[in-house]
Amino acid sequence: MSTATSHASSSVLVDAEPQPLAIDVGRTALVIIDMQRDFLEPGGFGETLGNKVSLLDAAVKPIAALLEAARKVGMLIVHTREGHRPDMSDAPKAKVERGEPHLRIGAKGPMGRILIRGEAGHDIVPKLYPKDGEVIIDKPGKGAFYATDLGAILQHQHIENLIVCGVTTEVCVHTTVREANDRGFKCIVPGDCCASYFPEFHEVGLRMIKAQGGIFGWVSDSTRLVKALS
Ligand code: C5J
């Protein structure tokens, strides 16, 4: 993992709503939520829940552009993966017992056992694959702080701001932004780097973040963020 002390400290102004935000790049992390095959590809968890997974493809290209810009400036990069231990001891019964039994978490699908660590479907899509040294957080819940060491890592790296993106907007992205906001992080959410199986939830999810003076954070997009970083 790269360390905060190795990150160049420079303040940039990010165009965002409800207002522009100045961030110190060296104290900012890019957090990419759950860009896993299980959510984006046919045969995974997303599809077993009855969703049209191709709707999530829209976020891949903008995230790739942002990831490239963040890597160039040496920003701390965090990738998260939602999933469970193979023995499923960390999977709450209430979460597992939903939907058809042969399509539930832990069941065998075309990409291996659904939402289980180490299986092909649990891995991150090739276009956004983590590079050596980037942080990977395996999370059993929707929020990236719940039952993980993300908080400790961000604290040790002196991170104050998060750029949070990924899938899905109203579930794991939103939960993570809310957790981060309560922990004192300023969160910027690039809208085009997020996606949902429900376009209306995506739209409203973004509006909820920036409403009321930015009650959960700021909303921007990949173009404005890449411009600010370069
Ligand atoms: C869901 C997620 N939607 N990553 N997970 O179950 O948003």
Assess contact for 75 and 10: CB atoms under 8 A: no
Q: Is the pLDDT of residue 180 over 90?
A: yes
Q: For 93, which DSSP code?
A: H
Encode 212-227: b = buried (16+ Cβ within 10 Å), e = exposed: eebebbbbbbbebbbe
Q: Tell me the pLDDT tens digit for each residue of 102-155.
A: 789 999 999 999 999 999 999 999 999 999 999 999 999 999 999 999 999 999
| Other beta carbons less than 10 A from residue 30's beta carbon | 26
Q: Whose CA is nearest to atom 2 of ligand 1?
A: 172
Phi, psi dihedrals of residue 86, rounded to the nearest 5°: -55, -30
Distance 196 CA to ligand 1 centre (A): 9
Quote the tokens at residue 8. Answer: 């160049």
Q: Tell me the pLDDT tens digit for each residue of 42-70.
A: 989 999 889 999 999 999 999 999 999 99
Which residue, among 148, 154, 188, 189, has the nearest Cα to 169 in the 3D structure? Answer: 189
So what's the pLDDT on residue 103? 84
Site to probe by mutation for ligand 1, drawn from 167, 169, 173, 201 as the one with most ligand atoms within 8 Å of Cβ, is 167
Distance 11 CA to ligand 1 centre (A): 33
Q: Whose CA is nearest to atom 6 of ligand 1?
A: 171
Quote the tokens at residue 35. Answer: 């860009």
Of all atoms in ligand 1, which is nearest to the CA of residue 171? 7
Quote the tokens at residue 146. Answer: 């719940």
Of all atoms in ligand 1, which is nearest to the CA of residue 173? 7
Residue that is written with structure tokens 């905060």 in the block: 4
At 14, which helix (H) or strand (E)? strand 11-14
Of all atoms in ligand 1, which is nearest to the CA of residue 197? 3
So what's the pLDDT on residue 5? 41
By annotation, the residues acting in catalysis are: 34, 139, 172
Cα diameter, the chain: 52
